[in-house]
Structure 1
Amino acid sequence: MKLLLAICLSVIGFAVPASAQTPAKALFGAKPDASQQRPAPFGSYSKGCVAGAVQLPETGPTWQAMRLSRNRNWGHPETIDFIKDLSRFAARQRGWNGLYIGDISQPRGGPMLSGHRSHQIGLDIDIWMRPADRLNLSRKARENISSISMRRAKGAYVNSSWTRAHHEILKAAAKDRRVARIFVFPGAKVQMCNDEKGNRNWLRKIRPWWGHHYHFHVRLNCPRGARGCIEQAPPPKGDGCAEARQWVANILNPPPPKPVDPSAPKPRPRRDYTLSDLPQQCAAVLQSN
C-alpha cells in the first residue's frame, strides 16, 4: 500500500519524502506557512491536515494570540471568523477586553511535534480561561505569561477565579451553530448546570474532560461542503449534566483500581503517524507551495 501511494504521488508530480517512516509530525512541524490551496480540512480532528489555512493575526481589537513561537495560530477560515466573533462577545463581559487564544493548528495542520493529538485539521481552538484584560502584550510577554486554573479539588469544583463571565462566554460559544462540542473540566460543567436557569439545550455541547481548567477547547463542525472532513459523532442527547455529576463523584470517591493481570501483554507504545497514515490529500497539502 505504501509503495502504491509513493508511485501515485510520483506520477502526479509530488516528491516522495526521503523516508516513508519519517514521522508526519516532523514533516508538518517543519512547514512555516500555509499551502497555496483552496481552504479545506482533510481527515479527522486527530488524523488529518488542512489546506489553505489562514493565520490569526497576532493581535486584534478583541484578541491576542499567545505562545507565538509555536506558530500554531493557523486555522480554517471559518475557525478564524469564529474566534473573532466570540472575542467580540467576550469583550462585552465585565473584566474582559477579549480573549487570549492558545493553540489552533500548525500552518498545514497535521500531527504536532509536541502536545496535542487533535488540532490537526484547523477546527480546534484552545481559549485561555484567563480574562484578557490587556491586549498590548509583547511577543516576549506572551511566551512567559500563564493562564489561570479554574479548578478546585482536582477538578470536582470551580475555584474563586470562576465568574459568571466564564459561564456566558462558554454559553455563547456552545450556542454557535458552527460548534460541535467544547471540552472543559468536570466541575465547570456541573457549575454551569447548577447556574443555568433558561434554555439548557446548549449544555449538551459542553463535555467534561480531563485537564481543560487553564483553557477550554472549542471544536467546530466540518464546514459545509468539506467532503474530505470527518465529523466527530454528535454528543449524546440531553444536557449531559448527570454524566458530569458522575465524573465529579468519581473524582471525589475514586472507584477501586482494576486488578492487574501479570500475564496480560503490555500495551504497545503508540506509534507516530507517517504520511501514508494520513488522508491521501495530505501529501498534496505538504508539497504545495
Structure 2
Amino acid sequence: MTFRTLLLACCGAALVANPLATGMARAETPAKQLFSAERQPSSGAARSIGFYSNGCMSGAAELRPDGPDWQVMRLSRNRRYGQPATIALIERIAGQAARAGIWPGLLVGDISQPRGGPMASGHASHQVGLDFDVWFRPMPSPRLTGEQRETYPFRSVLKKGTFTVDDGVWNENYRNLIRLASEQPEVQRIFVNPGIKKKLCETAGRDRAWLSKVRPFYGHDEHFHVRLFCQPGSPGCKPQQAIGRGDGCDELDWWFNVALQPPPPGAKPPKPKPPLTLAGMPAACRSVLAAPDKGEAVAATPAGGAYANAFAPAPPDVPIPTARPLR
C-alpha cells in the first residue's frame, strides 16, 4: 500500500485531489505508516539519511532470505534491507563464524524496511540501514522453511525472571560470536542485555579491547544488535557519539542498581512520545518516499525539472507508469 492508497482509504478522493491538503496530511501522518507501506527500495544511490532513530535510506540492498551460512527470520515483516556495507558485513560475519566453527549459521532478525524509516512495531532505530539483529540461536539443521521462520520461537539466554546468564544455554561460542562481530572495522556498537555484558566482562580474559564496543541496554537477551558507522557516500547520515575508552565493565553498577530496578510504588508511568511524522524527519526522506522503485524506469522529466508524481498534476505529454500505484 503506497501513501496515495493509504490516504484514499482514510481521507477520501477529495483530499487527494487537493495538492496542498495532501501535503499537509502527508506531513502529519505517522511516518511509520508511510514507510512500512513501502514494499520496494527506492531508486538512487545507496545513502543513509538522518540518525539511526530518525531517518531513512535510498537505494537499499537486500539480504537474500537464504545464504550458505544464514537464514532471514520473519520474512513477512519485509525488513531485510540495508546499506550495501551492512549486507556485506552480515554475509562476512556469517561465513567467518561458520569457517571458524563458532556458529553453524546466523538467524538474522530485522535489518531495515525497504526505504528505512520508522517501523510499525518493534524498534525505535533500524531506520537508516545500518542496524541489524542476530538471534541468540544457531541456525538449526535441517534448515527452517519459510513457514517455520514465522513462528520459530525466540530464546532468552538469561535465567527466567533474572538478569543472570543461563549457563545451561550459554557457552563460549556465544561470546566468540559477539567478539567476532565487534572486531569488524565497520561496527560502531553492539547492544546486549546488561546481564550478558556482565558475563562477557567476567569471561573475556586479558584481551578486552573488543569489549568497548559491546554496550549494555534494555532487552536484548534474545538477540544482539549490531550498529555500523555512517558509511562513505552518505553525507546526510548523522553519526552516533563515539564510545568511551576502556572495556565498559565499570558501567554495570548503574545498570543493575538504578536502571533495571522497578519503579517506586505509585510512580507515574512515563508519558508516551507522540508518533514521529514526516514533518519531523530529514527533508530528504520525502524524496525517498516519492521516488520510483529501485530499477524501475523513471517517467520523463516535465519542464521545470520536477518528476511527475501523485501530488502534482503532470503535463499531458508525460508518460505515467501504470505497473504500480503512483507515489
Q: Give, in whole Å, the separation in 2 of the partners of 1:134 and 1:288.
A: 41
TM-score (norm 2): 0.77
Instruction: State the alpha-carbon separation in 1 of the partners of residues 29 and 254 from structure 2.
Output: 42
Q: CA deviation at 1:131?
A: 1.1
Unmatched tracts of structure 2, length 5 or more:
1-21, 293-327
How many aligned residue pairs are there?
A: 270
Alignment match, 1:175: 183
**What is the percentage of aligned positions where both structures have the same residue?**
43
Q: 2:204 aligns with which of 190, 196, 199?
A: 196
Aligned amino acid, residue 111 of structure 2:
I
* Aligned match for 1:220, one of 214, 217, 228: 228
Structure 2 residue 275 is the aligned partner of structure 1 residue 275: no
**How far apart, in 2, do the equivalents of 1:17 and 1:30 lie?**
19
Which of structure 1's runs of 4+ aligned residues deviate more than 4 A? Answer: 249-252, 258-261
Contact 1:99 1:131 in 2 (8 A): yes
- TM-score of the superposition, structure 1-length normalised? 0.87
Matched-pair contact (CA < 8 Å) for 1:222–1:230: yes
**Structure 2 counterpart SS, 1:217:** strand
Indicate how the Cα distance of structure 1 residues 164 and 138 shifts in structure 2: closer, same or farther if over 3 A, else same.
same
Q: Which moved more, 1:111-120 or 1:150-159?
A: 150-159
Q: Is the 1:155–1:213 contact (alpha carbons within 8 Å) kept by the matching residues of 2?
A: no
Q: What CA distance in whole angstroms lies between the structure 2 residues aligned with 1:156 and 1:101?
A: 24
Task: Determine the C-alpha separation between the residues in 2 that align with 1:223 and 1:139.
Answer: 32
Question: Could you say if the C-alpha distance between residues 148 and 92 of structure 1 is closer, same or farther in structure 2, counting changes exceeding 3 Å?
Answer: farther
Cα RMSD (Å)? 2.2
Could you tell me how far 1:258 is from its partner in structure 2? 8.2
Counterpart residue identity of residue 283, structure 1 = R
**In the superposition, relative to structure 1, how do residues 197 and 228 fare at CA in structure 2: closer, same or farther (>3 Å)?**
same
CA contact (8 A) 2:102 2:176 kept: no
- Report matched runs for 1:1-289 at 5 Å: 16=23, 18-92=25-99, 94=101, 96-134=103-141, 136-152=143-159, 154-159=161-166, 160-249=168-257, 254=261, 257=264, 260=267, 268-289=271-292
CA distance in structure 1 between the aligned counterparts of 2:141 and 2:252, rounded to whole angstroms: 33
Between the aligned partners of 2:265 and 2:250, the Cα distance in structure 1 is 24
Quick one: distance in 1 between partners of 2:154 and 2:271?
34
- Say whether the 8 Å CA contact 1:193–1:241 is kept in structure 2: yes
Contact preservation (8 Å) 1:50, 1:122:
yes
Structure 1 unaligned residues grouped into runs of 5+: 1-14
Which has the greater radius of gyration? 2
* Residues 7-35 of structure 1, C-alpha deviations (whole Å, 9 max, x = no match): xxxxxxxx847543111111111100100
